[in-house]
């Protein structure tokens, strides 16, 4: 009989702490809702003790989720565990995730603790967590570089102390599939009562084997996989949720296991996360990349036309990539747009639909036909704009003059609390001049310009330009988005969005 594998998503904790992947509170909540639609089993919403902002965000997610367990990470410290429980206690199924390092190098140089002290700390703090919450996960950090006998001993201690899930992380992406499978088989065989808990695998991708190692863990006895959307995470990233979910679905004959993931929501979740963090998928990214279902070779094209199964082991529709292209234009009504969005898998609230329909009508004045890709971009962009409560300055209009024999000039008009403010600036180009004019108006805190990405949403010379800009201040990054058929306008909108977030953060720091 096939076993069910739980999906533990740590996009909002392990994924979000990766450089360039930070999200604000509203963005995290939007991702959490997307994960709930995806039907993950557990959402690790953050590290509650890290900051008041992290605590508040986890608390909000725990309160908002209706059909998924919400988890917070905690070190083996009472204050961490208290904060974790206080943040998640309103969840339908709260979980505390306690961890401590178990490898010799971590115990000696990071913890400066003896193995006996680590065992006692695990025993005490797992028991402490279990006194507050019925669902406790214990992680042995750097497990794959730990002594197997010591690892079995601490797992036994954690189970006896009340842990219901045991996580065996490949923290630095060091192990191989054969080693990972053997480690789980060893623990399941040697640890008393191992059959009474869930074993979990958490892999990093430093050697490009996170997916393979996670699946090997399933073959060895794991019934939970910890992963992130698009594999975002520290260093080379984590196990990508979309890859393990589809691998278990496509190769059920090998793994004899299944998940509850609603795979038709994978593509939308992927796009949402990429949009929020200001990145795009590599064309060859498995499952969600632009080339994942593209065929250029003549031999491949001939085979696919004859029978898709010749070169496609899964369909685009199975991961939520719609092939039903309805032509929408300026004569399309609100009902038609709403109905088509539902066919694409988007369920919008009345307020969300109102915002989107306004953007749709504006786009129809600039484009003859609106594609599914355009609609998808508007959905993601309008949700982010609505979720971003940092709009201290509102974009009104711009006017640029540029040429190869004249100095580019830009006039920018912004609004703030009903007041209209206008400035003009010269620059190296129309976009640079526009940014300088914005800076004259808003006087942003000092920052560096880290990233500027222009992405074509669809085909044709009238396509929407999706601009993503990242600004950096200290170790914090602020992503901004702009969407328009005019690349200068979308650049201005993206820069202003990022600047607004930067200003809001700076104000919060001053008032803290």
Read off the pLDDT of each residue in 290-313 and give the average, rounded to a whole number: 59
Q: Give me the pLDDT at residue 351, please.
A: 82
Q: Which of the listed ranges 150-159, 344-353, 484-493 does the model predict with the highest average pLDDT?
A: 150-159
Read off the pLDDT of each residue in 413-431 and give the average, rounded to a whole number: 93
Read off the pLDDT of each residue in 200-206 and give the average, rounded to a whole number: 98
Q: Give me the pLDDT at residue 368, please.
A: 67
pLDDT digits over 169-200, tens only?
Answer: 999 999 999 999 999 999 999 999 999 999 99
In angstroms, rounded to a whole number, what is the distance separating the alpha carbons of residues 272 and 78?
A: 36
Give me the long-range contacts of 400-408 (CB less than 8 A, separation at least 24): 400/430, 400/433, 400/434, 400/488, 401/430, 402/429, 402/430, 402/433, 408/432, 408/433
Q: Give me the pLDDT at residue 12, please.
A: 97
Read off the pLDDT of each residue in 410-432 and give the average, rounded to a whole number: 94
Q: Please tell me the total number of residues recorded for the chain in this structure.
A: 512
pLDDT level of residue 99 (50, 70, 90 thresholds)? very high
DSSP state for residue 240 in the 8-state scheme: B
pLDDT above 90 (res 374): no
* HSE-up (13 A, CA, CB side) for residue 123: 11
pLDDT level of residue 311 (50, 70, 90 thresholds)? low
Beta bridge partners of 473: 476
390 vs 3, more confident? 3
Q: Which of the listed ranges 88-102, 270-284, 309-323 does the model predict with the highest average pLDDT?
A: 88-102
Q: Give me the pLDDT at residue 475, please.
A: 81
Share of the chain above pLDDT 90, in %: 63
pLDDT above 50 (res 386): no
Read off the pLDDT of each residue in 440-469 and give the average, rounded to a whole number: 84
Helix (H, G, I), strand (E, B) or coil at 324: coil
Single pTM value for the model: 0.82
Both tokens of 129, joined, read: 């967590």
Read off the pLDDT of each residue in 138-149 and give the average, rounded to a whole number: 98
286 vs 329, more confident? 286
Read off the pLDDT of each residue in 74-80 and give the average, rounded to a whole number: 98
Give Cα separations from 362 to 108, 365, 368, 378, 473 (angstroms).
Answer: 62, 5, 12, 11, 34
In 10 A of CB 430, how many CB atoms?
20
6 vs 505, more confident? 6
pLDDT above 50 (res 298): no
Task: Please state, rounded to an integer, the average pLDDT across all residues of the chain.
Answer: 89
Read off the pLDDT of each residue in 239-256 and give the average, rounded to a whole number: 97
Between vectors from CA 100 to CA 96 and to CA 103, what angle results, nearest 5°?
Answer: 145
Share of the chain above pLDDT 70, in %: 92
Both tokens of 243, joined, read: 């890859």
Beta bridge partners of 8: 42, 226
Q: Give me the pLDDT at residue 308, please.
A: 62
Q: Give me the pLDDT at residue 74, please.
A: 98
Q: Give me the pLDDT at residue 8, please.
A: 98
pLDDT digits over 12-21, tens only?
Answer: 999 887 777 7
Q: Give me the pLDDT at residue 326, please.
A: 56
pLDDT digits over 255-295, tens only?
Answer: 999 999 999 999 999 988 988 887 888 989 999 998 888 64
Q: Give me the pLDDT at residue 301, please.
A: 41
In angstroms, rounded to a whole number, what is the distance separating the alpha carbons of residues 46 and 83?
A: 11
Both tokens of 113, joined, read: 């603790």
Q: Give the start-end residues of each E strand in 42-164.
A: 42-46, 69-75, 94-101, 136-141
Q: Give me the pLDDT at residue 390, please.
A: 47
């Amino acid at each position: 009989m096939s076993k069910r594998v739980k999906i533990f998503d740590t996009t909002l904790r392990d994924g979000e702490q990766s450089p360039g992947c930070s999200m604000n509170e509203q963005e995290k909540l939007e991702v959490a809702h997307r994960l709930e639609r995806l039907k993950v089993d557990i959402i690790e919403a953050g590290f509650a003790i890290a900051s008041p902002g992290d605590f508040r965000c986890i608390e909000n997610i725990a309160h908002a989720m209706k059909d998924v367990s919400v988890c917070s990470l905690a070190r083996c410290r009472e204050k961490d565990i208290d904060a974790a429980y206080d943040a998640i206690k309103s969840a339908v199924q709260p979980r505390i995730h306690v961890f401590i390092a178990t490898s010799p190098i971590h115990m000696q140089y990071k913890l400066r603790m003896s193995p006996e002290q680590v065992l006692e700390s695990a025993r005490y703090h797992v028991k402490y967590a279990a006194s507050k919450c019925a669902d406790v996960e214990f992680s042995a950090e750097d497990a794959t570089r730990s002594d197997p006998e010591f690892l079995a001993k601490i797992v036994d201690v954690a189970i006896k102390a009340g842990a219901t899930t045991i996580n065996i992380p490949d923290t630095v992406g060091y192990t191989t599939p054969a080693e990972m499978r053997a480690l789980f088989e060893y623990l399941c065989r040697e640890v008393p009562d191992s059959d009474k808990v869930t074993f979990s695998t958490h892999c990093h991708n430093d050697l490009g084997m996170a997916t393979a190692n996670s699946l090997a863990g399933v073959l060895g006895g794991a019934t939970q996989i910890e992963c992130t959307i698009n594999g975002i995470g520290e260093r080379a990233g984590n196990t990508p949720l979309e890859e393990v979910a589809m691998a278990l679905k496509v190769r059920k004959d090998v793994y004899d296991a299944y998940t509850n993931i609603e795979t038709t929501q994978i593509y939308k979740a992927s796009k949402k996360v990429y949009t929020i963090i200001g990145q795009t998928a590599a064309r060859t990214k498995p499952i969600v990349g632009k080339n994942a279902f593209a065929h250029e070779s003549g031999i491949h094209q001939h085979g696919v036309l004859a029978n898709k199964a010749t070169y496609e082991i899964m369909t685009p529709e199975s991961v939520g990539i719609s092939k039903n292209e309805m032509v929408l234009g300026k004569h399309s009504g609100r009902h038609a747009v709403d109905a088509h969005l539902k066919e694409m898998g988007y369920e919008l609230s009345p307020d969300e639909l109102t915002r989107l329909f306004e953007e749709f009508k504006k786009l129809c004045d600039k484009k003859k036909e609106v594609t599914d890709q355009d609609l998808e971009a508007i959905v993601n962009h309008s949700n982010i704009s609505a979720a971003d409560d940092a709009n201290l300055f509102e974009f009104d209009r711009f006017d640029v003059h540029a040429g190869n024999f004249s100095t580019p000039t830009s006039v920018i008009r912004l609004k703030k609390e009903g007041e209209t403010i206008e400035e003009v600036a010269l620059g190296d180009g129309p976009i640079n001049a526009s940014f300088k004019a914005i800076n004259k108006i808003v006087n942003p805190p000092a920052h560096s310009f880290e990233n500027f990405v222009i992405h074509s949403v669809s085909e044709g010379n009238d396509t929407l330009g999706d601009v993503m800009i990242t600004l950096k201040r200290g170790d914090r990054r602020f992503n901004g988005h702009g969407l328009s058929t005019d690349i200068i306008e979308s650049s201005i909108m993206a820069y202003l969005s990022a600047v607004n977030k930067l200003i809001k953060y700076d104000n919060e720091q001053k008032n803290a």
